[in-house]
Structures are given as structure tokens and as C-alpha cells.
Structure 1
Amino acid sequence: MGKALLLCFWFLFSTGMYAQSVDSRNTITSPPDTSRYQDALITKVLFSAHNNTWGYDIFVNHVLLIHQPSIPCYGGREGFKTKKDALSVAELVITKIRKGLVPPTVTKAELKALGIKADD
């Protein structure tokens, strides 16, 4: 019984050491490659959404990257109240994509700075 327990302990300890090992050659991380978006063809398409609101799609090189039928960072299904609001946020998102910030998150503070309010 003692030998079996010792063998089990040794096995668990030895496999645990390998699972926790770190390859020291890979400690330097490189920044994300932003060049793939700098010269890409990035387009926006505005569309009517739920309850007479607006949303937007963002395409990168003719491929849909973002479908945003609702106001980002707010729960619910409500889109932007005006087409202008949807356009402003779509342009902000495109700016972030060009900088390599993918996914391009939008904060409540950024929406507020654009004058966009959502019903909480």
C-alpha cells in the first residue's frame, strides 16, 4: 500500500512539474501586427434596426468584420436613435481598426463624448 501511494505521489508530482514548466525562449511578446489594417479597404454600411433605430456593419476588404445592430456597451437590443449617431460610432470604430485595436471596443465615455445617450 505504501509503495503504491508513493508511486502515485511521484507520478502526480512529476506530471505537475511538466505542466507548469515555462519555455524561457518565448518570454518576449511582440506587439500585434497593425499593418494589416492600415492600408486595408475598410467600409461602413448603415442600416435600419429594431424600433426605428440605426446600426452599422464594418467590412474589411469586403469581408464583414462587425455587425452592430445595437448601441455597444449597453445591454439590450436598441440601436442608435439617429443615423448620425450610428455614423459617428462607425467612424470611431474604423479609426480604432486602422490603429490595430481589434476588436475595437467602444466605451460609455466615448459614446458620451460623441453626445450619444442610451436608455439604461
Structure 2
Amino acid sequence: MTTKQIALVALLATGVVACKENKGHSGDSKLKSTDTISTTVMPEGDITVVPFQVDGGGWGFDIKIGPKTRIHQDLIPVILGRKSFATKEDALKVGENMAEKMRTQHTAFPDITRRELLEMHIAGVE
């Protein structure tokens, strides 16, 4: 699903819940023009990148939204093979890049390309 499709599904689900809640209060299942539908917007400051050491050597990162881990990345994405990041700094560079995309593009699972990894000079990416 695309980000727009996910957002639409979330909005529709919120509307269904709001309709059901409204029906219980007034007996009328229709939303009125004065009714509001509340949604939760994620504050940008709640996205954090936490580096960690991988068993057997190397580094990875978690991207957390509040206390919940949303992305657990113990391997360098996009490349062939199963390699962890060589340094904590490399893991943080990629993690921060992805977190920034989450903040600005409002996507839960941002894409990263091999070209971006090369531009960041990530060790092990050829």
C-alpha cells in the first residue's frame, strides 16, 4: 500500500469509529456538521534513532516513535548480502536519513536507495 492509501484507510477507520460513537450518544448514526473527528498526529520530535551493536560485530539501528520500535534495521538495506553497518556512525547516518523522511514525508516506512547509501559513504556499499 502507498502512503496515501494507508492514510485514507486510517481516516476512514477513524470516521467509522466516530460514527459509532456518535450513534451511541444521540441515536442518530449520521454525523452532523458540528461533529468533529479527532485524529492523532505524530509530533516530529517523537521519532528517534537508537544505534545498537549486532551480535557477531557491526551495528544497526532502531527507529522509535515514542516508546515503540517501528523499524529494526540490523543489516545494511538495499545491498546484496547480509552485512551489518561497519560503524555506529554509518548506522546513525542511515537511520537519521530515514527518520527525517518519516518526519517530512509522513511515511511509516521510508525508502532508501543504493545511490543514497553511496552518497553517504556507507562502508560496505559498492
TM range (shorter): 0.5 to 0.7
4+ aligned runs moved over 4 Å, structure 1: 29-33
Output the CA distance in 1 between the equivalents of 2:5 and 2:50: 33
Output the CA distance in 2 between the equivalents of 1:101 and 1:60: 12
Matching residue within 31, 40, 55 for 2:60: 55
**1:36 to partner: Cα distance:** 3.0
Show the counterpart of 2:51.
46
Show the counterpart of 1:17.
none
User: 1:39 and 1:118, CA in 2 relative to 1: closer, same or farther beyond 3 A?
Assistant: same
Output the CA distance in 1 between the equivalents of 2:68 and 2:122: 28
Asked if structure 1 preserves the Cα contact closer than 8 Å seen for 2:118 and 2:125, the reply is no
Show the counterpart of 2:121.
115
**Secondary structure at 2:99's aligned position in 1?**
helix
Output the CA distance in 1 between the equivalents of 2:43 and 2:111: 18
The Cα RMSD (Å) is 2.5
What does the per-residue CA deviation read over 1:13-56, in whole Å, with 9 as the maximum and x for residues that have no partner?
xxxxxxxxxxxxxxxx78958x8345350112111114311000
User: 1:109 and 1:41, CA in 2 relative to 1: closer, same or farther beyond 3 A?
Assistant: same
Asked if structure 2 preserves the Cα contact closer than 8 Å seen for 1:42 and 1:60, the reply is yes
Show the counterpart of 2:100.
95
**Secondary structure at 1:64's aligned position in 2?**
strand
Runs of at least 5 residues in structure 2 that lack an aligned partner in the other structure: 9-39
Show the counterpart of 1:68.
73
The yes-or-no answer on 1:105 pairing with 2:111 is yes
TM-score by length of 1: 0.64
How many residues align? The count is 91
Structure (1 or 2) with the larger CA radius of gyration: 1
Output the CA distance in 2 between the equivalents of 1:102 and 1:30: 12
TM-score by length of 2: 0.61
Runs of at least 5 residues in structure 1 that lack an aligned partner in the other structure: 1-28
